[in-house]
């Protein structure tokens, strides 16, 4: 249903009685109730499926799921402090765009080397207590068994991660210790002043509003 301003009025997803697994963070097994596009940030689209995955992430953080693993559980719990998943996604888009605008992306060689380091961290962590959930999530995402640096998509992802870490160091607080979960960190949590300024200069269009 749309309101007088032509925006979709949507309810926050009701997860009562819904079984969730780590696989739902990669490919949700529940129907997507959101429109195809929920917002744009400087013409960059945020999709309804992204919002659903964010909602699932928040819900998993609230639940006591034994097989998530302590490290992933801590990250999901930190994300669950966010009161608005859509605004969290918008802030993340603003951060990524700022990385490119400020020229903070690493060189290809740096990104490849970082990808190699993350693979070694993953291999070392595979049997470490508390990291089971993180390792399982990476496997669900289709990470290769070896030679991550030969995968262009992974190198690009870790290039983005390094750029976001550099942005935190330059504009916000010190970067977190890199882990295989580095690209899941909510980089907006410690950058409130920076994001306020970014929002003032951005063209943000909402296509949905939360029902009260």
Q: Is the pLDDT of residue 30 over 70?
A: yes
Are the CB atoms for 76 and 60 separated by under 8 Å?
yes
User: Model confidence over 113-142: pLDDT tens digits?
Assistant: 999 998 988 888 777 766 677 778 888 888
Give, to the nearest 10 degrees, the angle between helix 70-79 and helix 132-140.
80
The two three-digit tokens of residue 210, written as one number = 């939360």
pLDDT band at 181 (very low <50, low <70, confident <90, very high): very low
pLDDT at 174: 58
CB-count burial class (<10 Å; 0-12, 13-18, 19+) for 71: buried
pLDDT value at residue 74: 60
Confidence of residue 21 (pLDDT cuts 50, 70, 90): confident
Domain residue ranges of the chain, discontinuous segments joined by + = 8-210
Q: What percent of the chain has pLDDT over 70?
A: 80
Q: Strands, DSSP E only, in the chain?
A: 8-10, 37-41, 44-47, 204-206, 208-210
CATH topology of domain 8-210: Triger factor/SurA peptide-binding fold (1.10.4030)
Q: How confident is the model at residue 201 (pLDDT cuts 50, 70, 90)?
A: very high
Query: What pLDDT shows up at residue 187?
Result: 43
pTM of the model: 0.83
Return the sign of the alpha-carbon dihedral for residues 69, 70, 71, 76: positive
């Amino acid at each position: 249903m749309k309101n007088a301003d032509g925006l979709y009025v949507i309810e926050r997803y009701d997860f009562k009685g819904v079984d969730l697994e780590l696989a739902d963070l990669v490919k949700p097994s529940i129907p997507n109730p959101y429109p195809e596009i929920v917002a744009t940030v400087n013409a960059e689209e945020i999709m309804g499926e992204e919002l659903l995955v964010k909602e699932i992430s928040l819900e998993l953080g609230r639940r006591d799921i034994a097989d998530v693993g302590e490290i992933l559980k801590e990250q999901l719990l930190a994300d669950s402090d966010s009161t608005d998943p859509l605004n969290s996604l918008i802030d993340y888009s603003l951060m990524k765009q700022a990385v490119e605008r400020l020229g903070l992306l690493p060189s290809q060689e740096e990104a490849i080397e970082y990808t190699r380091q993350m693979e070694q961290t993953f291999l070392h962590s595979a049997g470490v207590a508390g990291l089971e959930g993180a390792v399982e999530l990476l496997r669900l995402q289709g990470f290769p068994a070896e030679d991550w640096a030969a995968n262009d998509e992974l190198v690009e992802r870790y290039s983005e991660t390094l750029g976001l870490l550099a942005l935190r160091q330059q504009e916000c607080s010190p970067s977190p210790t890199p882990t295989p979960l580095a690209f899941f960190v909510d980089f907006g949590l410690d950058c409130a002043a920076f994001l306020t300024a970014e929002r003032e200069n951005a063209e943000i269009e909402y296509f949905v509003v939360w029902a009260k």
